[in-house]
Structure 1
């Protein structure tokens, strides 16, 4: 395994290596339709693919372990028939045999997958390349097969290629898994006479009175480079006969299938999608078979597609387009260092980050910017077979995701797109509810047009289409849905699609489409401050506007009610438990669903009035008050009171046994201290207007903290604070009254200072553990309780708990990471040394384990106890948390410690033979040496879409620019980057590069002793370091600015202020040369 000069990852003899799964990005461009495409390093690679989700497979979705077993039979197959020197008919199948005479390799790029095989015995070379078709109104996987004759003499061969089984459109994943025999009765193939079969079921399969006819379907098209369309073979029996396992094409051995003219059965069985061609290959020559496997909304589109794609240059141009789309995306993080593997890793990590968090595009620049995220999807794949991913099958495609994941993956986006400004802060702050929690599932952004705006937009629609257009736009829509509607119904516009979308986006209002999901995690809110800090690292001059002046923030509304303790503390057969903590309230759901616009925004007048809006500071104050009231009975950690744990999902049992989490205590301390600092920066000249319900809650907590400071009675504080929280939630469940009262800066600061003191005490208790590390999780055993006389629906008595006994779980890396956020540099250095001496450090791998030994814990804590140590979420190297640990090292100034850990832990610096897959791609976890499977220690599992990408991007930003490249100095905006780079990261030679800047391909010369990177996707920054010193031991001597107008200016200072800084921030500087001493 190695990386070539193009940045391609090469795996020689890939079928002999450790198994792994991965995927194509699926990106097809803004005006293209994505596909999901998964591959493994067995057979011909592709294991499954389709559109939208698992329920729309073209090649059936199977989990990784089953894909490894089946891909060689049910995946793509190629059979080459010829007459050998003994006049015998012989069939050779490439990518099946493994012998000394066969050499194969897999070539992985950000946009494509290629496999090659050279068979010296057969004297044939085979190449297959896959990529997703970009820039079309239909999705398709492109497969290009090249067969080359390696001898000088001509030879006659017949090639059979394609899928032995394809899934007709309309069959769900569950149907394929459980009733596939029955479902075969619905399977149909249409349009065979036009050599472009159309696969769908005949009608809906539901056992109901309503029978629906399907219009959509999958298609298959195969043709040679000579533009000859091949006859499709849709009946697997004419190929394999009675060999239903598809082991060998018995029929092909004895009959010619190229140009097959006999009848084929295209119903009552799962069809195939194969084609054959017969060729005379001259010595050294080759033949290419191009195949498209795709989807269309109606059968009548097939002829148009066929006429368009079957040309000699079409697929060459589309492959180049696909490559450039991916290059433009990844040039956003262009990096040129002395380590090419690091540079390519930056690209791949940025690409994978947007696949989960989305890629921001500005779809309207008329007076205001309209940001829309595209390309995202939930992290589901062959190894994450439990997640239901969704890619919108439309232009401007967006997908689903979880609040926590998307929030973290977008943390650093301001550094890559200057148009974003406070967009993401608003998105995620607005999703916070009045109870301090948030919905789990983020389904993307939808738009809606008020009546007046709709009338304006209809001016661009031809009169004959206006009625149907208005009907469509009565409901919220995505840009993709709108464009699909326009194309499918052939709506005529007076302007182009791009311009039309821009005008719609300008006139429309937007809403985040979110759903409750399955519970409330205790950590989700903690990532909001990360977004705020990123924003202020670029816009420090907008602090007052961010926290105070913008009063457009609202609260998300929900019909899910968090029960009070009296309705969730139960005495079960296993003992006291906290169960079923959340319930749906039907009346509230009806109230929300009856609203015509923005239904999930909290209203005044107890839910029947206007949307309640206020500033970000009030929202953060609401969060702080809810969370400080949620400290556990020992006053240390935040309770898991709503069915779900925190970041560490595998402790799913902790909420049931009264679990609590210190990471959120530490994050609350960080947030409170941040607010105290920023309030001082803003000044004392403001008053908050806050809902009376919140003020009453605040005053109650304020009084309780005062009492606690005198008595230090943690149980009493917990009991009374919980009661206050329960009363507050009851009052605001349907909405605020709408009444507000003033809250002065003096009262605000006094309140926050008291909370900070209480949290300081809590943090001090966290540090006192038997492990010499910060404790992370607890559970609490009720030792004194009484029945209330009430019973649950299951017959369990409700209880009132009067006393708990605390149990501390073994150490977790998360606790140390979160503590580092609020510790000083010297304390972090001490902690780092303690971690390296503890069981959290894997001395064999020199990496950081997720947690210590859980064997002494009860099974009740969650699924982590079921996993073998070193596997999944039990003592493995969980890349996301390990990278969080590295991030805190560099952010807090432990540079030497960081670079040592970086070389040990960062994926591009791993041995690929041990890692077992591309070292340009992250994994969710690495098997640690705690696992008994010694052969696989250090091997990566579960591909790519990990939160580790967000942490690495944050690390990259600190390395490239420092934590706060824009500052306020003497009342002025200043640009003063402070890169954190070791001397060996600077180049040792000169190289010309061609990259996208502001959407244009530009050439630049990167000199020796330089480090180059991109800022905002618009500015190339080149650090010059002739002495090759570590940059944290150097100073800036001067700048040379090349403006986007071509003007060049040289400034011999260590920082840039005012207009220069603003020009950089606005993306009006093409290149900055920075000279280090």
Structure 2
């Protein structure tokens, strides 16, 4: 019998501590009016492996990587000692000699553990969850002891946390200076059994020494008693000199009553926090405890008036409700309950990277504000400095690619977010085609003249609100500071925030970061396509009505003469391809950490339409083709989606994936300009580049110049363009007729199709993802050195191109936009027979073998085969391929692949963790350790979630939701295999957040293929009570569907 199962909205693992170790986390969602906490857990000991506030420097139980957590959690984390009949039993101990049964219970916002101890006749359940909608962050632990015998038991219980770091000890201190740090440690507030742990003063080695007011606290309560339990915070009281912490030797020797009489010492030692209970266990005993942070002892004691088991039980309900409300957006029902739960978990994890959009009416239009987002990081991604904002309406920083991808489907759930996301990420594209790395969210600003209209909402402290509103703020910052200044409101917090927002102007924030990835821009078109799937009637306004700015980074891409270098071992390489002119930036007073927009020489911020912006993106990418005319160059220090191919830019690498994506942009522009022909007003520098490129492209297509001459000439023009815009945008504009633009786009498509055909031939029928170029003839640039690294620069005269082993990325992207089903089937068959298919696992892996490749291509080559980005089932890319299958019309092939590639259809004993959760990668059969084959690693926070939601939407709705040829038309064309319908022949899902759609399939046939069923009748019930039965939904009724006026929609398939 399997040790893993899903039932009653819990994923259960029997004998969890004997199964493969894995790491995961609580979502860190505390509600809009709560302060979140990060909490990581593993299936060892009592689970919690580290938690704290904000980041690693705010640890209460210090952060460690997963492979360390598996070893230390049982002894240094939460522990429970139960003394019965004079003998101590440690519950959940791997060293226990008792007879027991154990299980782990995972929910969306909690994790629990159960031990039925037959030796002592007691069942112990532990459940963890964080505080919700509270002014402080806290981790609540609910422990229930149930007497399994017929007679009462006298028990002594010590239950709590072995390791508590006092406030203001950084991650560096916990790992490197823990012996020194204890000199500052102190426990306060012990007289009321709520120890408050903090340093006595600041610890910096400087003349200025400050006090520390904030601290970490612990409190425990038992059901039926208002007063807090006695707390043991001195570990020596429990363990004596047994620093190995294996056995509570003092509890084994003495009664707990006597131990509680011992004077405890908090000085010069790392404290613990154990609640103590002595008494009778008749039936059920509940001990609820909390570990958290407050700004002072006084704040803690004021809050503690509400503490108790009943209060913590109410918090348990709120924690469950806050994630349920979020995931109700994707509520669905198929024949596979695990699949339905998996979709909801994917949706939850997706918004942890992209955020959940809230909408407000602002001064200049709708304000969309994303909450709950953060830069991903956990015990298996210890290399990332994660950050969970400790504020109301919490949101955080993310990387451009991550946030962009994970917001792809926002428009299907919060329609206002569609246009907002397009504008945010399009504005971050620069006039040189690059983009910043870091997306910071947004700030709000208010005209000082409008502040008076807000002050009327203040009951107390109106004089303090004006300074808070005089500078840019976030909702969380504003509400948190109002609380600190004791500002009281006449209205509810929600109504106050609405009033503030109504006078606010939103400004998106971003920061350059480091380097320019070649793929980031490629995700912008997903935002556009999905928006137009809901609003096809707004294409013209999307193209021409709004105004878009251009982000400006402090760094620029160097010309060839400065970055092509000769290494010490005689190799020509491209290193340190970007450069910062610090003197120029200083002259301009350029703030690197700020959000900077491109201005012309008169100081005006440069603005343009979306059509013009995409045209400028297109010319930047088309002038970045490699010397062979095949791929788009990695000429700016960073690779594309596969970060582990970090060596490719140095090897003059280029990618075909980006070629596919620029083709997509060109097709979009061609369609838009053909339907709504309008000229483009472009900066004169761009217009010159376009003219020059068009002339050269004509010459190349007419065979008047060869590919190398074309490339060199284009690069000369491009570098001249980059030099001009770096010096400053002139400010003059040139109007380019739509006919001229369409002619250029047509020629570009010819160039692209030729490149794809040639590259596919090189890949024996499979489009290669990566190419590298060797400089086979070059000359030294006498006396010229690289401006950054000082290496000798060279001029390359002749190149030789080769493809790398085939990767799944380019075929996945190609299939996604392919309309020819027969061609798609040929590609599918070839890939199935290639080294990108794992026959043992029936899954698709990142690439063919890299064994014969040089280490120079990047760290992927140095990784063990079948691990991380090297030849593993990297789930995000595997899902991109699955999405390509379903979008290209290979529906049967999609389902065959999905039923081995999606976790809910996997054997969890092999996967090694909850099959409701995604992983970054699954170890393939290439890995030298057979025990790892099929096992998932690096949990949850991955672009896989976005691909899954996209696939789910496609399965439930089909390709085109709305169309607008003559009038707005709504249609459902589900792609559902017959076995997904339940016993009644039904599948249901939530459409556009509000409408419940029920498919009725009495014949239980597929909705695709030669003998498929399709919608024949729509039965609609509107929220106003009206009922409508139609065969097609058009016109006003289609608008009602889009406007969320339909409550339920029953769709008969026949």
Change (3 A) 1:980 1:106: same
Q: Do structure 1's residue 48 and structure 2's residue 44 form an aligned pair? A: no
- Deviation of 1:260 (Å): 2.6
Change (3 A) 1:465 1:265: farther
Q: Return the alpha-carbon distance in structure 2 between the equivalents of residues 1037 and 903 of structure 1.
A: 29
User: Deviations for 1:803-859, whole angstroms, at most 9, x for unmatched residues?
Assistant: 222221100000211222343221111000000011101111110010111111111
Q: How does 1:161-180 map to 2 (within 5 A)?
A: 161-180=159-178
Q: Return the alpha-carbon distance in structure 2 between the equivalents of residues 918 and 558 of structure 1.
A: 42
Q: Do structure 1's residue 760 and structure 2's residue 760 form an aligned pair? A: no
Q: Return the alpha-carbon distance in structure 2 between the equivalents of residues 149 and 680 of structure 1.
A: 76
User: Deviations for 1:484-517, whole angstroms, at most 9, x for unmatched residues?
Assistant: 0011111133322111211222222222222222
Q: How does 1:284-683 map to 2 (within 5 A)?
A: 285-310=283-308, 312-364=309-361, 368-461=365-458, 464-466=461-463, 468-550=464-546, 552-574=547-569, 575-587=571-583, 589-590=585-586, 599-605=595-601, 609-682=603-676
Paired residue for 1:996?
Answer: none
Paired residue for 1:1076?
Answer: 1053
Q: Return the alpha-carbon distance in structure 2 between the equivalents of residues 276 and 96 of structure 1.
A: 23
Change (3 A) 1:366 1:439: closer
Q: Secondary structure at the match of 1:711?
A: coil
Contact 1:82 1:156 in 2 (8 A): yes
Paired residue for 1:1024?
Answer: 1000
Q: Do structure 1's residue 832 and structure 2's residue 828 form an aligned pair? A: yes
Q: Do structure 1's residue 718 and structure 2's residue 708 form an aligned pair? A: no
Q: Return the alpha-carbon distance in structure 2 between the equivalents of residues 1023 and 674 of structure 1.
A: 33
Q: Return the alpha-carbon distance in structure 1 between the equivalents of residues 155 and 351 of structure 2.
A: 45
Contact 1:593 1:599 in 2 (8 A): no
- Deviation of 1:313 (Å): 2.3
Paired residue for 2:281?
Answer: 281
Paired residue for 1:999?
Answer: none
- Which of 1048, 1051, 1057 lines up with 2:1027 in the alignment? 1048
Paired residue for 2:270?
Answer: 270
Q: Return the alpha-carbon distance in structure 2 between the equivalents of residues 782 and 188 of structure 1.
A: 65
TM-score, normalised via structure 1 length: 0.94
User: Deviations for 1:512-555, whole angstroms, at most 9, x for unmatched residues?
Assistant: 222222211100000001110000111000000001122x2111
Q: Return the alpha-carbon distance in structure 2 between the equivalents of residues 499 and 567 of structure 1.
A: 58
Paired residue for 2:890?
Answer: 894
Change (3 A) 1:221 1:594: same
Paired residue for 1:62?
Answer: 64
- Deviation of 1:582 (Å): 1.8
Change (3 A) 1:721 1:200: farther
Contact 1:568 1:798 in 2 (8 A): yes
- Deviation of 1:202 (Å): 2.4
Paired residue for 1:935?
Answer: 931
Contact 1:363 1:501 in 2 (8 A): no
User: Which segment drifts farther, 243-252 or 40-49?
Assistant: 243-252
Q: Do structure 1's residue 748 and structure 2's residue 746 form an aligned pair? A: no
Paired residue for 1:1065?
Answer: 1042
Q: Return the alpha-carbon distance in structure 1 between the equivalents of residues 1041 and 331 of structure 2.
A: 17
Q: Do structure 1's residue 251 and structure 2's residue 250 form an aligned pair? A: yes
Q: Return the alpha-carbon distance in structure 1 between the equivalents of residues 266 and 507 of structure 2.
A: 45
Q: Secondary structure at the match of 2:878?
A: helix
User: Which segment drifts farther, 385-394 or 794-803?
Assistant: 794-803
User: Deviations for 1:303-322, whole angstroms, at most 9, x for unmatched residues?
Assistant: 12111122x42222221111
Change (3 A) 1:980 1:732: same
Contact 1:105 1:116 in 2 (8 A): yes
Q: Return the alpha-carbon distance in structure 1 between the equivalents of residues 728 and 421 of structure 2.
A: 25
User: Deviations for 1:548-581, whole angstroms, at most 9, x for unmatched residues?
Assistant: 122x211112212222222222212142221112
Paired residue for 2:220?
Answer: 222
Q: Do structure 1's residue 904 and structure 2's residue 900 form an aligned pair? A: yes
Change (3 A) 1:272 1:1049: same
Q: Return the alpha-carbon distance in structure 2 between the equivalents of residues 770 and 909 of structure 1.
A: 32
Q: Return the alpha-carbon distance in structure 1 between the equivalents of residues 1039 and 865 of structure 2.
A: 52
Change (3 A) 1:409 1:974: same
Contact 2:363 2:501 in 1 (8 A): no
Contact 2:549 2:597 in 1 (8 A): yes
Q: Return the alpha-carbon distance in structure 2 between the equivalents of residues 347 and 770 of structure 1.
A: 39
Q: Return the alpha-carbon distance in structure 1 between the equivalents of residues 450 and 841 of structure 2.
A: 60
User: Deviations for 1:437-479, whole angstroms, at most 9, x for unmatched residues?
Assistant: 111112222222233333433343458542x333233332211
Paired residue for 2:840?
Answer: 844
Paired residue for 1:233?
Answer: 232
Contact 1:691 1:740 in 2 (8 A): yes
Contact 2:89 2:96 in 1 (8 A): no
Q: Return the alpha-carbon distance in structure 1 between the equivalents of residues 462 and 580 of structure 2.
A: 42
Q: Secondary structure at the match of 1:636?
A: coil
Change (3 A) 1:597 1:814: closer
User: Which segment drifts farther, 288-297 or 784-793?
Assistant: 784-793
Contact 2:763 2:806 in 1 (8 A): no
- Deviation of 1:642 (Å): 1.1
Change (3 A) 1:257 1:704: farther
- Which of 860, 863, 867 lines up with 1:871 in the alignment? 867
Q: Secondary structure at the match of 1:716?
A: helix
Unaligned stretches of 5+ residues in structure 1 = 989-1007
- Deviation of 1:329 (Å): 0.8
Paired residue for 2:987?
Answer: 1011
- Deviation of 1:96 (Å): 3.1
Change (3 A) 1:93 1:984: closer
User: Deviations for 1:713-733, whole angstroms, at most 9, x for unmatched residues?
Assistant: 222222222222222222223
Paired residue for 1:1000?
Answer: none
TM-score, normalised via structure 2 length: 0.96
Q: Return the alpha-carbon distance in structure 2 between the equivalents of residues 812 and 167 of structure 1.
A: 46
Q: Secondary structure at the match of 1:490?
A: coil
User: Deviations for 1:851-879, whole angstroms, at most 9, x for unmatched residues?
Assistant: 11111111111101111111111110011
Q: Do structure 1's residue 19 and structure 2's residue 21 form an aligned pair? A: yes
Change (3 A) 1:99 1:91: closer
Paired residue for 1:690?
Answer: 682
Q: Secondary structure at the match of 2:365?
A: coil
Contact 2:42 2:48 in 1 (8 A): yes
User: Which segment drifts farther, 368-377 or 60-69?
Assistant: 368-377
Q: Secondary structure at the match of 1:439?
A: coil
Q: Secondary structure at the match of 1:613?
A: coil
- Deviation of 1:705 (Å): 0.9
Q: How does 1:102-141 map to 2 (within 5 A)?
A: 102-141=100-139
Q: Return the alpha-carbon distance in structure 2 between the equivalents of residues 947 and 847 of structure 1.
A: 18
User: Which segment drifts farther, 490-499 or 365-374?
Assistant: 365-374
Unaligned stretches of 5+ residues in structure 2 = none
Q: Return the alpha-carbon distance in structure 1 between the equivalents of residues 206 and 715 of structure 2.
A: 49
